[in-house]
Structure 1
């Protein structure tokens, strides 16, 4: 296999001269892959994760689990590592799909042990989901990561684990820290404020079947963001054989209970990452084109499924067919007033499309984005305005009044979704230079090749 060429510090975002007409095979979901890895690692028997996402975040998760003693065997076909794009070429599409379907990871649970060191990078799922696993290790586990990871909220997980019986050394409720695993955790009831990240709740739930008394997590703060991700966690726990009581199943609001018990070694095929489908769907909207995303699930807990409604309201149309999701742009982009509190990760892409619309937009309910890979609200405001846009940051979102944009450098702040937002704008605005497009490797490997392939370049 040939090495991927190094990407330039400033990547010239391709400008679309024509309407896009392409089939795009989107890699697997990061959220599903990393949850599946945790559940398989804690199971009573080996399991399989098929068509996993191979990106920086998921490889960091796999590496962290291996450091704790979990066996992960990878079967990777060369075809599945290639860009899976075709511009309406059925043979190429079928070959790419066949390559992706041949990839699988076999997870072999074993006695968790330390001492160990885990590099979380800047992955929220790794820095939050692995510390509860580390409490089950015999020995100390040190967690460290990128400089930005030191600034991201982790206090809810640390405080929750301490209340459940864990011993943790940290300086300020954030990374770096050391979890002193004792081979087991008491568990039981705990109150946490998860208003800064729903991952605090998911982190405690995923390992809870292995706690002596399970867990009862009660959220006591302001409204929870990104609730679909908690529903995803609950759904995957149940598939692995866990007994979970949740608000959606008639339980008490803001309370989740997991009963202790053995987890099954499941055989799970990872869905395409619907949030990572966003820039490709946006391309159809921006260019009045047509994009097909194969294997779009008819039923899913992924927040990205909301794109069907949001981008339709902004001027497109979509249909679920045997081919997958077929999304078509109409040639008009309308502004939108939308609450994105449950789907905050979609905000950068929606903001990029809104900056190209024919009327103003208001994006609400996403104050928590200030604590993501970067302060996404401040970053989007600054970068779009420096291209001639008119974006105002509000207490919980953005107000966007479209103006003619000009070329220029779009900084990404090491944030993958800032990079894909810049690529969307570049379709309509010549001369956009994207700083550090390689940051997309966090969740969307080889994005530049996927993007240029979609455009037939």
Structure 2
């Protein structure tokens, strides 16, 4: 049963679509690219600029953390941010919020700083997996004062350098463990070799993005051997980072085209990208939609029917909540596979999706890494978002076809899409 205890003042009623959507939606920049570009600049020796930056909660937390460690970041201009590396130092405290990129990308950087740097975050952040990364850093020579649970909070006391070398880890819970180590690898005295030993790494395109961006900053990276990455020690150079639109945040807007038998265009969709969100093109076609990538952007169109799908989402798990929402409105059952790692995200997304969709009359069952969704006639009610932006997006998508769906809190969308409610109203033609 859906919990309706959220204060009414915090709730947001998802608008239903009375007509087909026909819209062009300009998305802000990719959080994943932003986080990597900021860390690479802080680890470098010359300044960088970020064009089309994303100003959202996760990037604000990353900026605040890097500033606290000694990096100068000018965010006055919404079109271009200027970043100047400085001597990394403590003592300072880092607020990770719920941002996995902050809690997993910055500890390796902190290990090369001078002084104590303490990490903590939102209450649920303390439950997110961290032990594989911290274990690896200790093997590489880092001095870490850890909590009994093995995650946040913890303190890293650096001596201005880290030996580095070789480490073997199990990154099956998050590709961010690998990316976090690689981004700071050039700073380590011996460079870094990371070997993954375990089930397949989830969200593998994010690791490819890390490797591509490291090379763009001047790093020498060898990823020719499966599940092994070698970064040579060296100096990273500054550059202009052109931040792509966040393709994962396109998911609810593209879903609206399918559900309303309309069309949505996302301008600036790259012809080639390492963003996992690019998988949307294939997913929408599987559901029965049509997609077209042109100079105008990526356009999705619905054809009036949505068929169920059976798909492995291990490389783009972040799309799962919206895909589950579409599947709940489809004509035939769906199976979403390879998503067990989502149990360690902002919330246990498999459990949350099961509880909330079923609370609206749905039929969803979850196993260790699979969601099975059988369409049922849904009804309105409160859809709890668990402070998770992807859960909020899923609820908004369901609300397109199901009247009286209320989100317990829509403000959590500010994590990566700070203007989501207004953008959603504009999509439906109900905004001013």
Alignment partners' CA distance in 1, 2:387 and 2:44: 34
Query: Residues 374-425 of structure 1, C-alpha deviation per residue, up to 9 Å, x if partnerless?
Result: 0000000010011110111122110000011001000011110000000000
Which of 280, 287, 295 is the equivalent residue of 2:253? 280
- Residue 228 of structure 1: how far off its partner (Å): 0.6
Determine the structure 2 residue equivalent to 1:316.
Answer: 289
Query: Residues 289-309 of structure 1, C-alpha deviation per residue, up to 9 Å, x if partnerless?
Result: 011100000000000000000
Report the CA distance shift for 1:439/1:227 in structure 2 as closer, same or farther (over 3 A).
same
Determine the structure 2 residue equivalent to 1:200.
Answer: 177
TM-score, normalised relative to structure 1 = 0.91
Which of 179, 196, 200 is the equivalent residue of 1:219? 196
Which of 269, 277, 287 is the equivalent residue of 1:296? 269
- In 2, are the aligned partners of 1:279 and 1:424 still within 8 Å (CA)? yes
- What does 1:22-421 correspond to in 2, within 5 Å? 22-77=23-78, 103-171=79-147, 172-246=149-223, 251-421=224-394
- Residue 8 of structure 1: how far off its partner (Å): 4.3
- The 3-state SS of whatever aligns with 1:225 is coil
- Residue 76 of structure 1: how far off its partner (Å): 2.6
The RMSD of aligned alpha carbons is 0.9
Which of 378, 389, 414 is the equivalent residue of 1:441? 414
- Residue 225 of structure 1: how far off its partner (Å): 0.8
- Residue 321 of structure 1: how far off its partner (Å): 1.4
Alignment partners' CA distance in 2, 1:320 and 1:446: 25
- What does 1:413-432 correspond to in 2, within 5 Å? 413-432=386-405
Determine the structure 1 residue equivalent to 2:3.
Answer: none
- Residue 75 of structure 1: how far off its partner (Å): 3.2
- Residue 46 of structure 1: how far off its partner (Å): 0.6
- The 3-state SS of whatever aligns with 1:392 is strand
Unaligned runs of at least 5 residues, structure 2: 1-7
- In 2, are the aligned partners of 1:8 and 1:436 still within 8 Å (CA)? no
Aligned length: 422
Alignment partners' CA distance in 1, 2:284 and 2:388: 22
State which drifts further: 391-400 or 123-132: 391-400
Runs of 4 or more above 4 Å deviation: none
Alignment partners' CA distance in 1, 2:135 and 2:332: 45
- In 2, are the aligned partners of 1:290 and 1:326 still within 8 Å (CA)? yes
Alignment partners' CA distance in 1, 2:418 and 2:28: 8
Query: Residues 249-284 of structure 1, C-alpha deviation per residue, up to 9 Å, x if partnerless?
Result: xx2211000000010101011000000000000000
Query: Residues 31-60 of structure 1, C-alpha deviation per residue, up to 9 Å, x if partnerless?
Result: 000000000111110111111111100110
Alignment partners' CA distance in 2, 1:438 and 1:74: 22
- The 3-state SS of whatever aligns with 2:70 is coil
Alignment partners' CA distance in 1, 2:293 and 2:337: 28
TM-score, normalised relative to structure 2 = 0.97
